[in-house]
Structures are given as C-alpha cells and as structure tokens.
Amino acid sequence: MFGRPLAATQLIQKKLADAITEISLALNACLHVSRLKDMDKVTPEMISLLKRNSCGKALDICRSARDMLGGNGICDEYHVIRHCMNLEAVNTYEGECSSASSGSA
C-alpha cells in the first residue's frame, strides 16, 4: 500500500493480532474439550457451543482478511476469497452457526 507492506500499518496489525488471538483461543478450547472427551467428561452442549463459536469466528476472521486485501480480497489469485466462499457455503448448507445455538450438534 503506497510503497509499504500492508502489515506495516497499525490498523492491519491490529486486525491480524485480533485474528491470531481468536484462532489461539479457539484452538485451546478445542484442545480442552478434546481432553475432556478422552476422560468421558464432555457433554453435547460443550461440543455444540464450541462448534458454534469456532464457525462464527472463522467466518469473522475470513471476512476481515478479505477486507484487509481490499479489491484483491475478491480476486482468485489470492486464496482468501476461496476460503470465504467455502466457509459461507458450509455455513449456509449445514447452518453450524445457527443450528448449534438451537442445541443440535
């Protein structure tokens, strides 16, 4: 952007930091629930909440990444739009973000 790397701007740095924070939190939650499952202490509600949260965060992060790239975010030479379309298709078809909130896992 204007002769500088995109990640050199503070707004982009904040968006990237927010994304990696959410990804790290989701991975840690998955690890924790996986360990609970290994000990037979997990409930379907835990899995449902984890799926709902992970799906929502993945969509938010992907949309943010697409926005960070501006017009390039919708070009097929960048992989962001492909991931966005895949997440949106799965969300539309399976309804993970909405169905998990109604208690179906």
What CA–CA distance (Å, rounded) separates 101 from 68?
29
The pTM of the full predicted model, rounded to 2 decimals, is 0.81
* Chain segment 30-58, per-residue pLDDT in tens: 999 999 999 999 999 999 999 999 999 99
Q: Is 88 noted as a catalytic residue in this protein? A: no
In this predicted structure, what is the pLDDT of residue 4?
Answer: 86
Greater model confidence, 26 or 99: 26
> CATH says 6-102 is which class?
mainly alpha
- 3-state per-residue secondary structure call for the chain: CCCCCHHHCHHHHHHHHHHHHHHHHHHHHHHHHHHHHHCCCCCHHHHHHHHHHHHHHHHHHHHHHHHHCHHHHHCCCCCHHHHHHHHHHHHHHHCHHHHHHHCCC
In this predicted structure, what is the pLDDT of residue 3?
Answer: 82
What CA–CA distance (Å, rounded) separates 19 from 13?
10
Q: Which of 22, 45, 88, 94 is catalytic?
A: 94
